[in-house]
Structure 1
Amino acid sequence: MIIREAVIQDIKQIQLVRNSVTENVLSNPDLVTDQDCKEFLTQRGKGWVCEINNEIVGFSITDLKDNNIWALFLKPEFEKKGIGKQLHDIMLDWYFNKTKNTVWLGTSPKSRAETFYRKAGWTETGIHGKGEIKFEMTYNDWLSKTANNI
């Protein structure tokens, strides 16, 4: 298993992962374009992928412009193996190394993702978009969490 920075050449496989999920499914897969992915990877923030046997099985992307976690997804058969946590932690370490601004994300209620983010220390702050739960992570909360894991 390799976790590395995502590059433009990964976008096709990133899209395959995004469209393989069984929760937080896009109502229309055409809503997230390859160009969107390229913009988030090269202009707005940064992304990471997890590769197993040269196949991307998960990815995460953070957005410095809107202080947002744009994506964190795994192929369903690779869930519950610690990959999501590794992608999450690398992404947040990088994000808070670049800015101290609070970061937010939205996810579907009653999903495994909701449970994941609560366990990871995110704070629910309301509703976002079409009924998603909005979570936030502050710089100090992340520092405290990482200090406790050392």
Structure 2
Amino acid sequence: MDIHIRQAQLSDIPAMHQVRMAVKENVLSDPGRISEADYRTYLTERGQGWVALLQDQLIGFAVVDVQERNVWALFVHPDHEDRGAGGKLHDTMLAWTFDQGLDHLWLSTDPDTRAAEFYRRRQWHATGTLPNAELRFEITAEAWRR
């Protein structure tokens, strides 16, 4: 079965949040920290988002914050990991972002996780540790296009 990627719509927010709450890594310590309004702001004012669909079921999503040059979210439901959805979301997001003229992006994730390894395999470089103990990763448009 093929995974289809399309631009996120406001009507996708409840399903996006369900995916976010289902993840096993990078779990929110306070689930109330992210609201529906946050998704709406990132999708309509701060950046762009995409969803991964498998037979019309939303199984993952990615959101980039162009104002902060930051990957705000990239999550795949645990029941659908290792099927290529994360890679497709990642590549779609970076292609769009770098086509907008941004020259680099950063993100953070917990160290020693599958997510950290996912980014390393895709040319992201760890550049330090944040006060919350997450690793900061960066990628340039030039490195990604190689």
**TM-score normalised to the size of structure 2?**
0.96
Q: What SS class does the counterpart of residue 68 from structure 2 fall into?
A: coil
1:53 to 55, 79, 95: 55
Runs (4 or more) in structure 1 with deviation over 6 Å come to none
User: Which residue in the other structure is 1:130 paired with?
Assistant: 132
Please, what is the CA RMSD of the aligned residues?
A: 0.9
Q: Which ranges in structure 1 are unaligned for 5 or more consecutive residues?
A: 145-150
- Indicate the percent of aligned positions where both proteins have the same amino acid: 40
CA distance in structure 2 between the partners assigned to 1:12 and 1:129 by the alignment: 30
**Cross-structure match for 1:62:** 64
Distance 2:105 2:131 in 1: 16
**Per-residue deviation, 1:19:** 0.2
5+ unaligned residues in a row in structure 2: which ranges? Answer: none
Q: Is the 8 A contact 2:69 2:102 kept in 1?
A: no
* Distance in 1, Cα, partners of 2:14 & 2:130: 28
Tell me the amino acid that sits aligned with residue 20 of structure 1.
A
Amino acid at match of 2:141: Y
Give the deviation of 1:75 after TM superposition. Answer: 0.5
Aligned length: 144
- Length-normalised TM-score, structure 1: 0.93
Cα deviation, 1:26-46, whole Å, max 9, x if unaligned, reads: 001110110000000111100
Q: C-alpha offsets along residues 104-149 of structure 1, whole Å, 9 cap, x if unaligned?
A: 00000010000100001101100124100000001111121xxxxx
